[in-house]
Chains A and B, each alone.
Chain A
């Protein structure tokens, strides 16, 4: 590191109306973006609000815009994102800001529900457990999809979400695709109907920002393509 101090600009949302505030933060080896934000809150300005929990990339609560790019701040080294010795940190895009770096995740999770992103069970305790073939193509898709940590980075990265508030977004649609491929889920018709609505998968333009920025290296864009295929097939099946 060239300088002993980092020039950190915080875009404080909501009440402060994105007022930019600059802090000098001591630089350290192996420092994450979250460490930097925490230092500001603990040592410079205790009124700064931000959100985190696990600090190891599991809980999905610490995502922020870092130099205009959505990132999980607990697993992002500051040295990787510094522009010279400066960095700009703001609240996640495409979600309403509550205060400073904290956004309201309600619209994000409401869309999970709207995409039928919940379990559709058909069996009772009397039934045997559904057999799962872990090598089947469908299970491989489902096993990848369940690694989503609901951090909303894909949602913040997506320009289609930005322009089309009804659009369910990559995370909710990836969830729908995961359930569609899960042998234990029996909600196929409900899921296909939910992702074919006004804000459904057909609004996606495959710009791929979801896949490019997913911190867990998941592929929502291809999942949405899968939904497009399945809904198109069932649509053409109905027409015939």
Chain B
């Protein structure tokens, strides 16, 4: 039976959804399909081939850029996880002078335009605190890691704080009455409760870092190339299926991470229901 509000069952809306879906997905689909094309052209199909993927792995600079991106993402995730969790705990537990301005400040990295933050880091790391360029790997990535941690820890704080809202304060009270100290309460009661928020926050920070182009573009020196920066220069100078292949790999990686996050959260919900 079709109710009055079953909009999904009406054909004009179905057609609309199909159109929007095609708009969103056809370009990505074409990108993935042509990464397997046995030709230099990215629009005429010549047959299936994995040669562009093989070429990627032969490109030392690209592999190094990918390694850089993973190191940056992992380090900035770790930093932003710690800072974000601390900030969430601070706002969740305490009432203090200047709390409202601090909350506003914490939300700022989320809304400040990327380009503004990018140029601010560019100036900061060249004119104010010059980041030495001759440091051994991975220390030469430090400026980018700091920049990424700065814009992602607000997101982590947001996610962890939402999770803390469901924490039962009586548990901590009971533990305290039974003689547990702050550290023990934090480690054995707070952290286990926060885990889903921590996982979601960490995956968010990781993806944000892996995806970032604009801020990295301004923060990185000429010798520190990350995956998006490398893809950008490939797009600028030569459009070959190698770019498609590199993009396909990154899509797979982020889709995998997102699926993992959804699955972990699903498992968490299932556990709560049981």
Do A and B belong to a common assembly? no
Where the two chains meet, the residues of B that have a C-beta atom closer than 8 Å to any C-beta of A are none
